[in-house]
Chain A
Amino acid sequence: MIRDVEVLVIGGGPAGLCAAEAAASAGAHVLLCERDGVPGGQLVKQTHKFFGSERQYAGERGIFIGKKLIDAVTRRENVEILTDATVLGMYEDGVVTVLKDDKHLKLRPKKTIIATGAAEKFLTFPNNDLPGIYGAGAVQTLMNVAGVKPAERVVMVGAGNIGLIVSYQLLQAGVRVVSVVEAAPRIGGFLVHAAKLRRAGVPIRTGWTVKEAYGNGKLEGVVLCELDEKWQQVPGTELDVPCDTLCLAVGLTPLSELCWQAGCHMEFIRELSGHVPVTDENLMTSVEGLYAAGDVSGIEEASSAMVEGRLAGYAAAASLGYDAERSRAEADAARAELRELRSGPLGGKIRAGLEKVAEKRRNAVC
């Protein structure tokens, strides 16, 4: 049996929850599918305070923002949340299949918002398969969701926001962070995160990388080395650092498989960190009625993901005729918020990426 759905939201992270809330507030019936056992996405482990403005809950901690967003959608009668529900396939006839409780559900949504987020990238170096080498996200989950102290001595690779934030949270959990290593010559994350880590005594080495890991059956240490301006390892700079855990925070890439399956026009945009669907001003992909919001359409801050979710949710509701005037006004407001969030110097990369997307779209339309 195929179930008809008005608005299907795939993914219950910040973008998906905000999309569901927006579409439902306009009057649409929403089904949200979340692969995990609880909605919230990465917010459930983000114990730090968010940046941005009031509209994106600035100054509040990610874990509490997640609770707020979940409370808001669960209060709505016209939102149904399926947890432990993995969307498997998007078919040419518009049918979407979902694995839930060992059953294969078939849905026929009028509108679909893909908010599947991102996956962590990995790094190649000798012995990178030793137990004790993790993605930073896994370590953050162990600490902040499972309540497990994940390590005693950690080396963190990557001084972007994830590397800096997870390092700080490791310190809070009583773990020694021996060093943060960043291959680029500059710290990529917010400098306030770097400063608070530094004044807690953690050295941040820019222009350094992991040459190799070593250990008998498990990680016992890493050899770090300096990089020259052409990103080549400088012989003679090797530094042996004993540690039981190495965390990789070397970037995220959009989880856009479902967009590929659905036949969206996809492009590789370096500034957005991978293959992304080409979207319009409403975040609609080249497939009619299919939207993409949050990290799946380009890696950015969670603040932007929430606003993108809201934009896609209102746009989908408006196209179904729900509260069309207000929905369109809300979509306009969301676009203005996104412009503001991206207007600073740190938004330059995103702006360049989005400009490339817009150009690809113009070329495709012509």
Chain B
Amino acid sequence: MLIRDGIPTAEDLASVLPSPERLAKGPIAIAECFQSIACNPCTKACPQHAITMEPDINALPKIDPDKCVGCRLCVAKCPGLAIFVVDMTHGENTALVTLPYEFLPVPEKGQAVAGLSRSGEKLGEFRVFGVASGGKANLTWMVTLEVPKELAMEVRNIRVEV
């Protein structure tokens, strides 16, 4: 249970996962943010105004599936590193997962890295599809990984094995 071991449960996740219909349409952000804390940079990060918080800064973020275009800007901005972008339309059998990353070395495009679950277990070796910088002041990297579709909702971290 999240409050005891830091691992969100299936129930926690069910409350934030987009519908299969929306996932079939293209990339979308998923905020794995399950605790009311006073924090709102994600709402300011979104150029589509797809992320809202009502009634105030202590509410959980709500992502409007119709407005979100999966641009990934929120991924680097979230102070809790809790936002991921999933694109289930990437390939026939593969999906893209974009996750925030703050370790060295930063992987390179095309490199194979270990994909980790929410409990840090290695789920396999996956290819880095792209890497983007959050900027000089932000310093969080956005790493996009190509994973089998069935693991798109499982892979949430990487380990660069050197």
Contacts and interface: CB of A to CB of B under 8 A. Distances in A.
A50 B32 CA distance: 18
Contact of A195 (B2, B4, B116, B159): B2
A195 B77 CA distance: 17
A195 B82 contact: yes
A53 B40 contact: yes
A48 B102 CA distance: 10
Given A51-B80, A58-B79, A61-B137, A200 B157 contact: yes
Nearest to A201: B120
A70 B39 CA distance: 24
Contacts, number: 137
Interface in B73-132: 77-82, 102-104, 116-121
A345 B34 CA distance: 12
A186 B118 CA distance: 18
B41 interface: yes
A340 interface: yes
Contact of A198 (B40, B58, B118): B118
Contact of B57 (A60, A198, A340): A340
Given A59-B77, A60-B137, A346-B37, A199 B3 contact: no
B38 A199 contact: no
Nearest to A174: B104
B5 A198 contact: yes
B137 A199 contact: no
Contacts of A50: 79
B6 A52 contact: no
Given A204-B5, A345-B36, A199 B156 contact: yes
Most A CB contacts (10 A, CB to CB) among B7, B57, B117, B119 go to B57
Q: Could you say which interface size class chain A belongs to?
A: 35 or more
B80 A190 contact: yes
Contacts of B116: 199-201
Chain B contact surface mostly: loop
B145 to A, nearest CB: 13
Contact of A61 (B4, B45, B77, B139): B139
B10 to A, nearest CB: 15
B16 to A, nearest CB: 12
B64 to A, nearest CB: 20
B38 A347 contact: yes
B35 interface: yes
A190 B5 contact: no
A128 B103 CA distance: 32
B137 A196 contact: no
Nearest to B77: A59
A187 B4 contact: yes
A68 to B, nearest CB: 10
A341 interface: yes
A195 B32 contact: yes
A179 B89 CA distance: 38
Interface in A174-233: 185-187, 190-204, 206-207
Contacts of B121: 201
A172 interface: yes
A59 B79 contact: yes
Contacts of B119: 198-199, 201
Contacts of B3: 186-187, 191
A54 interface: yes
Contacts of B38: 51-53, 303, 340-344, 346-347
Contact of A191 (B34, B41, B78, B156): B34
Interface string B131-159: 00000011110000000000000001101
B33 interface: yes
B11 to A, nearest CB: 14
A236 to B, nearest CB: 21
Interface string B1-30: 011111110000000000000000000000
Contacts of A61: 137-139
A185 B4 contact: yes
B67 interface: no
18 contacts: A53-B40, A172-B104, A187-B2, A187-B5, A187-B6, A190-B37, A190-B80, A192-B79, A192-B80, A195-B7, A196-B81, A198-B120, A199-B116, A199-B117, A200-B116, A200-B157, A202-B120, A204-B5
Interface of A: 48-54, 58-61, 64, 171-172, 185-187, 190-204, 206-207, 303, 340-347
In the A-B complex, the 3 residue pairs with the smallest Cβ-Cβ separation, listed nearest first, are A192-B80, A201-B120, A344-B58
